[in-house]
Chain A
């Protein structure tokens, strides 16, 4: 049946039949409706602070809580005002919205508290006026980022991985989940270090091979040993890469990620080297390939968060870096040109062409000053001086931006971890303190009793969203029924022992 509220007068009408046989006097019907049309002042009590406004002011926006009949739910009959148990400071702004039509966001309030109040009073945040909207959006974005960090870190803890694949992936991503993951983490780290060290030591001169006079680098003297070491490392790296590929939830995405490219670049030279035989034509290429082995050092970025942050910072500061590069290039070209033309006429000058002067300009601007190219003419010396002074300036400008970016991201990361640990400790402390108090026990007992009372009083939850006047009248109807039959008398027997005599007389 639709619109149950519409049938209430009908049910109430038939209640006439109860009256003659009623055992107790009927309760008075609930408040009559106020006259519509005449404006009147409404009192709104928000947690003790009183606000007053005209009814028409509130009804300007009928799709909000205060402008619609929903507010009657909060009407307090005894004090004849509306009572809201909310924050009075924020309510001030909400009431101003009704008065002026513009919603302002106070900078001193917490963004999530403000949002909650707006949601409670049924006001959309998009109505915020232009004067405060930027600020609101910025704060909201910051808050959302912070929440997302928390969520990500929390989600990592709570989810239970099911399949072997998921378990492996989790072990790879976060080594602290199990001891096996930790062992794996350290082993790979060790082998990366060993591999890099081997690459470095290979080139150190070790002394001549027995029976020869040449001073050979270690790599050629102990060629077999180094080859075995290299093979072992590459085996480990290949195994690791294949395991990661197997465990990855999205393989295509994984293969395109930076870390996996680094992995591939680290192990490919070895395999290519196996394929190429040692002849002169391709030995040049072979040597180049060996250079790529140094990329193994980037595998450390999985092990060090600082390194990852550095990489991330550089990526996010791409525009600043680009600006730095561009301005440097401009300056280099200008100064190199001027230097060249200034030093052109000097005999046996090092400044043979403008590109040759580039080297001088770079060395001077970065204040290195090797001294392999030095101006002779006084014009050249003046230009050189200006060049070095301006170099300092040009480099110093974008650097603070990059530094602040790095600092922000680094601290954000630190904060996420710290906050997680703090939160857990805090929650544990709160839980202990709460359960130890006596008030907790009494509260539980009272809740049970309230629930029984509520069931006796009438429907509590399912008719709630409808017009509250209907609800109050419905309850009144049910109370009349109880009074007709004297059912409430029994309850009063339990509660008020001394008045038993009075109620017995009523019958």
Chain B
């Protein structure tokens, strides 16, 4: 596999500029960093997990990194190309509230069937808990993930079918003021 050019071609650049919120300079900078750490031009799951591990050294971010990888990898071919990478990054850092919520929905919907079940959400929550690591030992009777998931479902599941659709998820999140606030803050570069 030859080294795909260290600079973006004009066509690629134009395409990316259209579908992301980044400008030319930022795209070039991201591309440069991406190519530096990933000379093959495509990020694999292991490398993805390694990056994550550096940010959360106290816990085990493997599971969560797994889920995030699946969201980034839109065509599900096992590799994240720069385009997939930068598109996901653009949505999560500069997208509108709706786009961000859609992205989060895709994160939670592990099997991509358009619904989030309680089990799926529980998996995500457990993965996040695993990232925090063993810094603190919660007492065994405190079954927080379950309770939280139940609470969320109680709030968002309008038709009480045990599953969340994209609309339910989106509307339910929008009702919560500080979810909106947290998601609408622009993350600085």
Contact = CB atoms under 8 A, between A and B. Distances in A.
Interface of A: 1-4, 6-14, 16-23, 25-26, 28-29, 32-33, 455-456, 459, 474, 477-478, 481-482, 484-487, 490-491, 507
B148 A507 contact: yes
Contact of A17 (B37, B56, B107, B144): B107
A482 B132 CA distance: 7
Given A8-B55, A22-B182, A507-B147, A13 B37 contact: no
Contact of A485 (B93, B129, B188): B129
Q: Interface of chain B, helix or strand or loop or mixed? A: helix
Nearest to A12: B187
Choose among B121, B124, B182 the residue with the greatest number of A CB atoms under 10 Å from its CB: B182
16 contacts: A1-B47, A7-B55, A9-B189, A12-B187, A17-B67, A17-B68, A17-B104, A21-B121, A23-B148, A28-B185, A474-B55, A478-B56, A482-B132, A484-B128, A490-B136, A490-B138
Contact of B50 (A1, A486, A487): A1
Given A9-B93, A12-B93, A477-B55, A20 B132 contact: no
Given A16-B103, A17-B124, 15 more contacts: A1-B51, A2-B37, A3-B36, A9-B89, A11-B52, A11-B55, A13-B88, A14-B64, A19-B183, A20-B169, A21-B128, A33-B188, A485-B129, A487-B132, A507-B151
Interface in B34-50: 36-37, 47, 50
B103 A481 contact: no
A4 B57 CA distance: 13
Contact of B152 (A20, A25, A477, A491): A20
Interface string B96-120: 0000110110011000000000000
B149 interface: yes
Contacts of A28: 185
Interface string B145-189: 001110110000000000000000100010000110011010111
B178 A26 contact: yes
What band does the interface of chain B fall in when counting residues whose beta carbon is under 8 Å from A?
35 or more
A11 B51 contact: yes
A10 B179 contact: no
Contacts of A29: 185, 187-188
A4 B50 CA distance: 11
Nearest to A4: B54
B135 interface: yes
Contacts of A19: 104, 179, 182-183
B131 interface: yes
